[in-house]
């Protein structure tokens, strides 16, 4: 039989609750019995406290404990009157003195019979009880030296003790052994009542715990069911699926993560669709131009001149650059870009790229400025870093109006080197800055397709910077245009 997760949780809660509850009940009953026995021992000690005075008086009367050694039953007679909760008056002596002769006549009593064989007068009296049967085996009377006088010799030395003193002098002690178990009918009935009450309470609490465990298991797993349904929806391609988050615990955080995953997948799906449309559009444009010009040449509308061939060559180069950029991005996504890391001086690489781009900037009516600090050692691939700098400089040259300026600044920061390339107007809206490094994204208002490029250069730049463990971002420039900041880690072994 296959159990659902909520059923397993319910069974786990039920078993745990049952074991804990009945374990607690057993522990409580054990402690109750132990405590109740201690309570009964304490009560008995209090009831035996007056015996100390009676034993002291008997000792004073006989001037020793020998009267108890010779007559152990007398010890039970002394104990009985106090242990049974009577009025507390001391018992009479072992033998009441016989009434005087005149008292016999006044009371109308007859003299006691005479035992002719012994010649002794014995009084016919009913036998006295010898103390409670459950108490006497627990008592031990010791003299001042610790020697046994009367009682159970197996009573341990750590038993409760009542000292006996006479005129400030210790003459003995009375020990009371702990009660081994409940024996009285009243005590047993009370203990059984407590056990029954504890059992009823335990069953009631267990039933309540089971109901609570059932509700708790269903409540805990409600988000899991929603997550399972949402996961199946995502697997079916429904990236618009969202889970309502109603809790703030770990399952609520998991629901937030699921919604974030669904949002990311939906964005990737939209980006993939947009990517396909943009790629098709970028490829269609040069192909359409090539097809039109070739058809014009075939139809004789346009003569085959060096200028016409140059136009065809330009479109072919544009198409080749686009295909190469797409290939580079596909390699970056697959981790297939070839990097050969070595110790380099970033300032020297930037200076070389600036010199290569300077003639093109001059032709475009742009002034190229530089502010390069001293050596900036990094570990990187010289060819890929040169491609990074060339793309950034070409991007600035394409989208900067003449006359204008392009400034390259290189400076050191803690544990990293920072390259800043910024240009003059036109600028980029703040809302478009985070998207500049997306593939095929262009700000159509100011940096349109007429300036050249397919919107892949900055995406390639980000891939190169990421591969070098750096960071790249775009900001508004104080010059009025775009400011691109590249941070690369300094070489640790420089």
Fold for 250-331, please state it.
Helix Hairpins (1.10.287)
The residue behind tokens 């509700």 is 215
pLDDT for residue 106 is more than 50: no
Provide the mean pLDDT of the chain.
Answer: 77
Round to whole Å and give the CA distance between 481 and 461.
19
In eight-state DSSP terms, residue 169 is E
Which has the closest alpha carbon to 194: 31, 17, 20?
Answer: 31
Average pLDDT over residues 334-352: 84
Is-same-fold flag (250-331; 341-489)?
A: no
Residue 345 gets the label, from left (phi > 0), alpha (psi -120 to 50) or beta, of beta
Query: How many other CB atoms are found less than 10 A from the CB of residue 300?
Result: 8
Q: Which residue has the higher pLDDT, 312 or 351?
A: 351
Instruction: Flag the least confident range among 113-122, 257-266, 364-373.
Output: 113-122
The class of domain 341-489 in CATH terms is alpha beta
Q: Which is nearest to 464 in space by CA: 376, 349, 351?
A: 349
How many CB atoms within 10 Å of residue 370?
A: 15
pLDDT attached to residue 187 = 59
Higher pLDDT: 234 or 277? It is 234
Task: Identify the weakest region by mean pLDDT among 224-238, 343-357, 410-424, 450-464.
Answer: 450-464
* The most confident of 18-32, 331-345, 415-429, 452-466, by mean pLDDT: 415-429
Give all strands (DSSP E) within 353-450, no chain letters: 366-372, 377-380, 404-413, 416-424
Q: Report percent pLDDT > 90 for the chain.
A: 13
User: Distance between terminal CA atoms of the chain?
Assistant: 67
Report yes or no on whether pTM surpasses 0.75. no
What is residue 389's predicted lDDT score, i.e. its pLDDT? 92
Average pLDDT over residues 448-468: 73
Residues 486 and 465 sit within 8 Å (Cβ to Cβ): yes
Domain assignments of the chain as residue spans, ordered by start: 5-28+185-234, 250-331, 341-489
Q: How far apart are CA 135 and CA 125, in angstroms?
A: 25
How deeply is 167 buried, as exposed, middle or buried, from its count of CB atoms within 10 A (0-12, 13-18, 19+)? exposed
Cα separation, 470 vs 489, whole angstroms: 6
Among 95-109, 217-231, 292-306, 407-421, which stretch is predicted with the lowest mean pLDDT?
95-109
The residue with greater pLDDT, 286 or 313, is 313
pLDDT at residue 88 tops 70: no
């Amino acid at each position: 039989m296959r159990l659902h997760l909520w059923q397993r949780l319910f069974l786990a809660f039920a078993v745990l609750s049952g074991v804990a509850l009945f374990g607690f009940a057993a522990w409580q009953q054990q402690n109750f019995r132990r405590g109740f026995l201690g309570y009964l021992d304490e009560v008995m000690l209090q009831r035996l406290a007056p015996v100390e005075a009676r034993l002291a008086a008997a000792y004073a009367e006989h001037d020793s404990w020998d009267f108890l050694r010779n007559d152990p039953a007398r010890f039970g007679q002394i104990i009985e009157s106090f242990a049974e909760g009577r009025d507390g008056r001391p018992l009479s002596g072992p033998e009441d003195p016989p009434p005087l002769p005149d008292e016999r006549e006044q009371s109308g009593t007859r003299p006691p019979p005479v035992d002719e064989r012994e010649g002794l007068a014995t009084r016919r009296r009913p036998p006295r009880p010898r103390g409670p049967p459950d108490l006497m085996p627990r008592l031990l009377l010791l003299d001042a030296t610790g020697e046994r006088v009367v009682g159970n010799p197996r009573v341990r030395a750590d038993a409760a003790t009542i000292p006996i003193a006479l005129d400030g002098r210790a003459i003995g002690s009375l020990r009371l052994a702990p009660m081994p178990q409940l024996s009285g009918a009243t005590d047993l009935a009370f203990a059984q009542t407590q056990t029954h009450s504890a059992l009823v309470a335990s069953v009631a609490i267990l039933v309540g715990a089971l109901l609570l465990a059932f509700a708790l298991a269903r409540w805990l797993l409600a988000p899991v069911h929603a997550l399972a349904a949402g996961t199946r929806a995502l697997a079916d391609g429904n990236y618009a699926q969202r889970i309502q988050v109603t809790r703030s615990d770990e399952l609520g955080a998991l629901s937030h993560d699921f919604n974030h995953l669904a949002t990311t997948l939906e964005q990737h799906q939209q980006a993939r669709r947009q990517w396909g449309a943009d790629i098709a559009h970028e490829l269609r444009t040069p192909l359409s131009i090539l097809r039109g010009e070739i058809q014009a040449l075939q139809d004789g509308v346009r003569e085959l001149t060096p200028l016409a061939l140059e136009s065809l060559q330009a479109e072919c180069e544009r198409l080749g650059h686009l295909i190469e950029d797409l290939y580079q991005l596909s390699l970056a996504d697959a981790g297939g870009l070839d990097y050969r890391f070595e110790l380099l001086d970033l300032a020297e690489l930037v200076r070389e790229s600036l010199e290569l781009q300077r003639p093109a900037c001059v032709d475009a009516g742009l002034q190229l400025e530089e502010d390069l600090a001293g050596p900036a050692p990094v570990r990187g691939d010289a060819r890929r870093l040169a491609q990074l700098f060339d793309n950034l400089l070409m991007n600035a040259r394409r989208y900067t109006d003449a006359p204008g300026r392009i400034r390259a600044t290189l400076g050191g920061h803690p544990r990293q080197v920072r390259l800043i390339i910024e240009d003059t107007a036109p600028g980029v809206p703040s809302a478009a800055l985070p998207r500049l490094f997306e593939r095929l994204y262009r700000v159509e208002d100011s940096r349109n397709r007429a300036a050249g490029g397919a919107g892949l250069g900055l995406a390639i730049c980000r891939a190169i910077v990421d591969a070098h463990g750096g960071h790249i971002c775009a900001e508004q420039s104080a010059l009025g245009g775009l400011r691109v900041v590249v941070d690369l880690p300094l070489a640790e072994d420089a």
